[in-house]
Amino acid sequence: MTMHFRDLAAAAAADGMIAPDELQDLRRAGWADGRMDPDEAESLFVANDLLTEPDRDWCDFFVEALSNFVVHTVQPAGYVDQEMADELIARIDRDGRVDSLAELELLVRVLEISTSVPASLKAYALQQIEWAVEHGEGPTRHGELAAGGINPTEVALLRRMIFAAGGDRPAAVSKAEAEMLFRLKDASLYEANCPEWQALFVQGVANYLLGFGGSEPLSAERASELEAFMNQEGAGIGGFLGRMARADVEDAFGSLLGGSEAETIDWDGEAEAAARLDPAEADWLRDRLDADEELDELEKALIAFIDEETGESFVPRP
């Protein structure tokens, strides 16, 4: 199937466009055995490079096929290892940045459907938006997108990336991402930004300072152990649900995970602590606010939001 799929992809993209019937042929060939191998994945990248104006249907297929290949090829499924992340970056990186919106969408989708990805992969994806804002060019600046400021496409991609499941703080904003939001704010402060940008800046930074992300995801090694356990004869989902019926949720998960993780989590205490600024977080925020010497409108909106959430009055340095 590999040679057939590769030939189909090359022939379809030879004229710079892929017709609907050609895309249907690729779909049938690509999932004939329910999986895609490295040669077939490479042929999709080659085809994408040849297309002059890839349409929405092609982008959807490209992202769907390759995100599943990246996320589910290495075991345990859902964990993208460093080797796979490095290969993905090397394949789509030509001059230090992504050149097509389909490739950028692929990066975002991998972050969304992964349980965990290396920090380097998420950092690389976020850097593409920073580049576009700083230089006014890149895959998010094609067509009718304005050259200056932060546009709705970029806000939507940023929101999906920083709240993606895979990353250093799953489904929550990390310190590095909050600092990136401040850099973007400073770079675009006097530009014509889209209305959605202020909401993302305020919500994103506040999530880092006040967010409650719960526990970290399982490591790839621990996930492999649990996957093997669940695949053992007599130790499947029926047995697990039986134990769930005889115990509360925390005890059941504590037993499955080895007894320590679930039993030691004080959920109410962690949530309460997250709902206020500790001294280190307050100092971090003051350092960011001091960087440009005076409060801008986005910083004022952030302080107002934090005050409302905590019920206390945050005071910047004089």
Q: Which residues contact 27 (CB under 8 A, 6 or more apart)?
A: 61
Instruction: Find residue 107's DSSP bridge partners.
Output: none
User: Is it the case that residue 164 has pLDDT exceeding 80?
Assistant: yes
Give the whole-angstrom CA distance, residue 244 versus residue 250: 9
The percent of residues in the chain predicted with pLDDT above 70, rounded, is 72
> Any idea which of 228-232, 243-247, 287-291, 298-302 has the lowest mean pLDDT?
243-247
* Residue 8: predicted pLDDT: 83
Closest to 50 measured CA to CA, from 81, 82, 17: 17
* Residue 143: predicted pLDDT: 47
Closest to 63 measured CA to CA, from 21, 102, 26: 102
More confident residue, 100 or 269: 100
More confident residue, 18 or 237: 18
Q: What tens digit of pLDDT does each residue of 1-28 get?
A: 456 777 888 888 888 888 889 888 888 8
Q: What tens digit of pLDDT does each residue of 51-82 get?
A: 887 888 999 999 999 999 999 888 888 899 99
Closest to 218 measured CA to CA, from 122, 114, 126: 114
Distances (CA, A) of 237 to 148, 234, 257: 53, 9, 15
* Residue 285: predicted pLDDT: 96
Kindly report the average pLDDT of the chain as a whole number: 78
* Residue 247: predicted pLDDT: 39
Closest to 76 measured CA to CA, from 108, 37, 115: 115
Give the whole-angstrom CA distance, residue 38 versus residue 228: 25
User: Is it the case that residue 230 has pLDDT exceeding 50?
Assistant: no
* Structure tokens, 256: 């499955």
Mean pLDDT of 306-313: 91
* Residue 314: predicted pLDDT: 93
pTM (whole model) above 0.75:
no
Q: Are 40 and 5 in contact (CB under 8 A)?
A: yes
Helix, strand, or coil here: 152? helix
* Residue 241: predicted pLDDT: 36
Q: How confident is the model at residue 121 (pLDDT cuts 50, 70, 90)?
A: very high
Q: What tens digit of pLDDT does each residue of 247-270 get?
A: 333 443 444 444 444 445 453 555
Helix, strand, or coil here: 116? strand
Residue 79 phi/psi, 5-degree rounding, is -105, 110
Mean pLDDT of 262-281: 63
Closest to 161 measured CA to CA, from 111, 102, 206: 111
User: How much of the chain is in helix, strand and coil states, percent to nearest 5?
Assistant: 65, 0, 35
Closest to 210 measured CA to CA, from 312, 318, 315, 317: 312
